[in-house]
């Protein structure tokens, strides 16, 4: 399963996580779960479910389903006389056991069937359950209405985590696997897609019955059915059908989105050494899908938002979503986590294989930067929300675990493991893990055992710190050259504070020292808070690359000289070395640093480094930095241009505003124009509002331009935009834009000093809490941003009545956020206003200083001798004063320094 709707979000978006759980730990970070949360243990199985047969009819007009679920089960132990299944919000008409009617109880959530006799172990029993339902979860009807007359007519199901119980009776837990078949009634002219092979089709008046059968055991949440008006496009890999289904008329978009899938099947099959294990692989789009994608066995459902036109393809790709869901066919379907606490064995693996497809398809630079984006995504959650072990059974709902620790952090840890083992052993481990546990349920120890089987080494220490523990090493690196000894005093410090889940990490790390005429790479074993090394080198290093290849999950503070960082930015052949150098230079607002960043922005061979340089120049925030950005707004990779546009938003300068206006109107990329709209709002330009309103007429992929304009209004803080936003919240407006307008309305109204604005926003947003899943989630975001106490009643009502655990959690979190904000609102607003004033004053002062610096340069050109004499005198005075002071300080520190040296 993938939560992300768009690939572009990986590099430039941050998901707000402030609503996530509760009490703070010793480091000020919120706890993942409240103290006292009950651990969840793997569910017991009393019978072995061997086969599931569903005969089902979906009524599009009534939005109901009805049919018969026939389960072949066998008791695991002797003397079984009843069975309890999950069956939520459905009407059970009858139950038969081996053709005989039997008694049952149904409480709305669980169906208990009484066999009327005790059964011996391993004896097959066929239970036929006739039922009907009007599902609110698990199965969804989507179609046209007055507001959206062109919406695609569809029926689709979504089982993960435990929602299959809402559309058929089952044992709805990941430790139970069975073969399956679905016989579905389909309106003539429509197609269906389900697991396995389509083995029969028969006519029935205005309908057809489609018979799908899947003969490899899989879990209930992976059983799927989609019905709609689709066009099927057929491809293959090595004789295996690889198909995709898209709404009729979108075949070209489908090819852009899914065309490379056969290559992916080939890549994963060859790399794992396990050929794709099923009869077919198909992908189908779904309107209003509640996730990004879902890896149903042999039949993945993808959000329709992944479809894109040629313009979007300039800087958007469906490959990440496609490769992620395909990887699940091995990791999640063929092998499935036994219980949710081990869900990283599904999601971390799929996320890392998604990244490895990037490595295969686009090269090392894209791969390393892709993983870095994963890591930054995790860091945002770790710093802004909570820290937790990747493997934990302390949670409320399974979806609590489906976060950035599970996906992104786990992927980066797998990369670290791969680099620790080396590629030969890594792929041998993967193959052994898959073949040893084929078609089974797995826990973390199964993977650890596979590593030990292949390598002969115990990796418990690795799992202890990375999987069962939390956090990461937070390195501070210091380098000082000693001319007398010809050696480098090099310190590696771990600055993280150890606590119940965060350790001082044990890991090997390589460091590359590059000097004139050569280089040396040393490997250090890190296992203490501080390590100090004296590295003998032929010459002073020009630059140092810590962890070349970026294989260690970490944060790093480079306490290196500006000269070293500039040299690394210019010469390091490792992309992440240049990225780290650019980030470090963002804190050095000198002329040399700015020139180096400007040069790399214009000439680096990889767009990611250019983007980092643009971001750094935005932080440097000088006239020189602005000019460098203005020189690089056209040409090159659109993702680099997008970063430039974003950085220009840091400048409240007429030139930045004018350039952003031009980008918004003229750039060929939807996403660059969108970023320009958001940045333009940040500049508070006088022409911004009118142009942004004008550009709302522009169509774009998933309405990204309109969405960014709405967020730009929040930055602009022009209250005329409130009425514009209210208009766009209306039912019938373009869906993606409408969702963005709902949340932006709350944000902007919060900035208003008029109580009437806040009241109008609340009155507009509150009724939308009753909308579909995505509308409700946007409305919760809008009310949370509004921070009005009166909204808490509506949020509490939603939390108490919703059938969706995600909406409930989100609403409760919004209530907590609003409650916590009370009493600080005035202070926060005053601080924000003070910041804005200081920023404006800083910009003006910087501009004056730059002009004075230019005048001084001209003066020096005219009177070089006099200028040099004055400079020499001033330098001598400063040196004399600071020299005495520093001598005293050094003298005082010498005894302590000796003591520390002995300790080390």
- 418-442 pLDDT, tens per residue? 999 999 999 999 999 999 999 999 9
Q: Which of 682, 675, 683 is nearest to 707 (CA)?
A: 675
Backbone angles phi, psi at 679, to 5 degrees: -65, -35
Contact (CB, 8 A) for 1 and 407? no
Under DSSP, the state recorded for 589 is -
- 704-720 pLDDT, tens per residue? 999 999 999 999 999 99
> What per-residue confidence (pLDDT) applies to 858?
59
Hey, how many other C-beta atoms are within 10 angstroms of the C-beta on 887?
Answer: 10
The token pair at 539 is 């010459």
List, in sequence order, every residue forming a beta bridge with 66; answer none if it has no partner.
Answer: 57, 132
The token pair at 763 is 């009155």
What is the percent of the chain where pLDDT is above 90? Answer: 87
Q: What is the mean pLDDT of residues 224-232?
A: 98
Residue 808 binned pLDDT confidence (cut-offs 50, 70, 90): very high
First to last CA, the chain: 48
- 831-873 pLDDT, tens per residue? 556 656 665 666 666 666 666 666 665 555 555 445 444 444 5
Q: What is the mean pLDDT of the chain?
A: 91
Hey, how many other C-beta atoms are within 10 angstroms of the C-beta on 244?
Answer: 25
900: three-class secondary structure by DSSP: helix
> What per-residue confidence (pLDDT) applies to 900?
34
> What per-residue confidence (pLDDT) applies to 874?
43
Contact (CB, 8 A) for 162 and 176? no
Residue 822 binned pLDDT confidence (cut-offs 50, 70, 90): confident
**Cα–Cα distance for residue pair 217/438, rounded to 1 Å:** 10
- 675-693 pLDDT, tens per residue? 999 999 999 999 999 999 9
- 294-345 pLDDT, tens per residue? 999 999 999 999 999 999 999 999 999 999 999 999 999 999 999 999 999 9
**Cα–Cα distance for residue pair 741/634, rounded to 1 Å:** 30
> What per-residue confidence (pLDDT) applies to 837?
66
The token pair at 518 is 């050569």
> What per-residue confidence (pLDDT) applies to 828?
56
pLDDT reading at 879 higher than 80: no
In sequence order, what E strands does 205-353 have?
207-219, 225-228, 230-237, 240-247, 281-286, 293-294, 299-303, 336-337
Longest CA–CA separation in the chain, Å: 110
Which ranges in 394-552 belong to alpha helices (H)?
410-421, 423-436, 444-455, 460-466
- 439-489 pLDDT, tens per residue? 999 999 999 999 999 999 999 999 999 999 999 999 999 999 999 999 999
- 56-106 pLDDT, tens per residue? 999 999 999 999 999 999 999 999 999 999 999 999 999 999 999 999 999
Q: What is the mean pLDDT of residues 567-587?
A: 97
Q: Which of 137, 37, 20, 88 is nearest to 802 (CA)?
A: 137
**Cα–Cα distance for residue pair 776/771, rounded to 1 Å:** 5
Question: Rounded to 5 degrees, what angle do the CA atoms 70, 72, 75 make?
Answer: 135
With the C-alpha atoms ordered 161, 166, 171, 177, is the resulting torsion angle positive or negative? negative
> What per-residue confidence (pLDDT) applies to 847?
61
**Cα–Cα distance for residue pair 654/247, rounded to 1 Å:** 46
- 14-59 pLDDT, tens per residue? 323 332 333 344 455 789 999 999 999 999 999 999 999 999 999 9
How would DSSP label each residue in 59-94? ETTTTEEEEEEEEEEEESSTTEEEEEEE--SEEEEE
- H or E element, residue 512: strand 507-515
Under DSSP, the state recorded for 251 is H
Q: Which of 324, 436, 429, 422 is nearest to 374 (CA)?
A: 324
**Cα–Cα distance for residue pair 470/159, rounded to 1 Å:** 30
**Strand pairing category for 154-157 and 177-187:** unpaired
């Amino acid at each position: 399963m993938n939560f992300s709707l768009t690939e572009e979000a990986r590099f430039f978006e941050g998901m707000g996580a402030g609503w996530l759980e509760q009490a703070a730990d010793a480091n000020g970070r919120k706890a993942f779960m409240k103290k006292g949360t009950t651990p969840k243990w793997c569910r017991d199985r009393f019978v072995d479910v061997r086969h599931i047969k569903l005969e089902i009819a979906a009524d599009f007009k009534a939005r109901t389903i009805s049919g018969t679920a026939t389960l072949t089960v066998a008791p695991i132990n002797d003397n079984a006389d009843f069975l309890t299944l999950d069956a939520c919000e459905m009407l059970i008409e009858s139950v038969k056991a081996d053709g005989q009617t039997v008694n049952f109880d149904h409480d709305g959530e669980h169906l208990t069937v009484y066999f009327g006799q005790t059964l011996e172990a391993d004896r097959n029993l066929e239970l036929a359950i006739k039922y009907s339902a009007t599902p609110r979860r698990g199965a969804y009807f989507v179609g046209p209405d007055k507001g959206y007359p062109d919406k695609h007519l569809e029926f689709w199901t979504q089982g993960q985590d435990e929602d299959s119980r809402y559309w058929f009776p089952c044992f709805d837990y990941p430790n139970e696997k069975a073969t399956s078949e679905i016989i579905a009634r389909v309106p003539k002219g429509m197609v269906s897609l389900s697991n396995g092979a389509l083995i029969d089709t028969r006519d029935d008046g205005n309908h057809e019955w489609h018979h799908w059968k899947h003969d490899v055991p899989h879990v209930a949440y992976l059983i799927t059915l989609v019905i709609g008006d689709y066009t099927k496009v057929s491809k293959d890999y090595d004789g295996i059908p690889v198909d995709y289904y898209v709404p009729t008329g979108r075949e070209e978009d489908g090819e852009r989105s899914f065309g490379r899938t056969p290559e992916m099947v080939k890549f994963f099959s060859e790399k794992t050494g396990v050929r794709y294990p099923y009869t077919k692989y198909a992908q189908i789009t779904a309107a209003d899908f509640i996730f990004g994608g879902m890896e149903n066995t042999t039949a993945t459902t993808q959000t329709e938002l992944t479809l894109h036109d040629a313009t979007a393809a300039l800087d958007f790709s469906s490959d990440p979503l496609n490769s992620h869901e395909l990887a699940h066919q091995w990791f999640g379907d063929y092998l499935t986590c036994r219980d949710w606490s081990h869900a990283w064995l599904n999601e971390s693996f799929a996320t890392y294989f998604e990244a490895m497809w990037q490595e295969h398809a686009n090269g090392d630079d894209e791969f390393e930067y892709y993983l870095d984006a994963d890591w930054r995504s995790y860091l945002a959650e770790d710093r802004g929300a909570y820290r937790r072990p990747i493997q934990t059974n302390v949670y409320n709902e399974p979806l609590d675990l489906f976060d950035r620790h599970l996906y992104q952090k786990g992927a980066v840890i797998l990369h670290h493991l791969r680099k620790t083992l080396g590629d030969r052993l890594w792929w041998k481990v993967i193959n052994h893990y898959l073949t040893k546990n084929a078609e089974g349920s797995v826990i973390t120890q199964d993977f650890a055992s596979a590593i030990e089987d292949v390598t002969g080494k115990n990796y418990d220490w690795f799992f202890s710190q990375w999987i069962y523990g939390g956090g990461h090493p937070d390195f501070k690196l210091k380098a000082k050259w000693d001319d007398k000894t010809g050696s480098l005093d090099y310190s590696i410090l771990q600055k993280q504070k150890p606590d119940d889940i965060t350790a001082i990490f044990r890991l090997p790390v390589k460091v590359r020292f590059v000097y004139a005429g050569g280089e040396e790479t040393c490997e250090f074993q890190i296992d203490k808070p501080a390590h100090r090394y004296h590295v003998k080198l032929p010459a002073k290093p020009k630059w140092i690359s810590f962890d070349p290849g970026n294989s260690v999950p970490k944060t790093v503070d480079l306490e290196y000289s500006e000269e070293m960082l500039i040299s690394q930015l210019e010469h390091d052949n490792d992309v992440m070395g240049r990225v780290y150098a650019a980030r470090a230079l963002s804190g050095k607002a000198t002329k040399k640093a700015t020139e180096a960043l400007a040069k790399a922005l214009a000439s680096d061979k990889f767009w990611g480094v250019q983007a980092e340089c643009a971001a750094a120049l935005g932080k440097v925030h000088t006239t020189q930095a602005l000019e460098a950005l203005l020189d690089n707004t056209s040409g090159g990779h659109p993702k680099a241009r997008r970063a430039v546009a974003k950085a220009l938003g840091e400048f409240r300068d007429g030139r930045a505003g004018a350039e952003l206006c031009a980008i918004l109107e003229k750039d060929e990329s939807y996403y660059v124009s969108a970023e320009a709209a958001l940045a333009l709002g940040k500049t508070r330009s006088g022409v911004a509002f009118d142009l942004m309103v004008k550009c709302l007429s522009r169509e774009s992929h998933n309405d990204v331009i309109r969405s960014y304009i709405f967020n730009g209004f929040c930055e602009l803080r022009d209250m005329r935009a409130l009425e514009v936003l209210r208009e766009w919240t209306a039912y019938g407006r373009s869906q993606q834009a409408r969702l963005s307008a709902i949340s932006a309305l709350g944000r902007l109204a919060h900035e208003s000093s008029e109580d009437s604005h806040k009241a109008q926003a609340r009155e507009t947003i509150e009724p939308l809490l009753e909308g579909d899943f995505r509308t409700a989630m946007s409305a919760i975001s809008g009310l949370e941003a509004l921070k009005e106490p009166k909204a808490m009643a509506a949020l509490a009502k939603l939390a108490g009545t919703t059938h969706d655990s995600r909406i409930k959690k989100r609403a409760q979190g919004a209530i907590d956020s609003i409650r916590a904000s009370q009493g600080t609102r005035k202070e926060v607003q005053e601080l924000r206003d003070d910041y804005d004033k200081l920023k404006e004053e800083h910009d003006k002062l910087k501009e004056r200083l730059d002009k004075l610096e230019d005048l001084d340069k001209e003066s020096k050109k005219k009177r070089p001798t006099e200028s040099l004499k004055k400079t020499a005198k001033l330098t001598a005075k400063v040196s004399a004063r600071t020299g005495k002071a520093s001598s005293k300080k050094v003298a005082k520190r010498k005894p302590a320094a000796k003591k520390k040296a002995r300790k080390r």
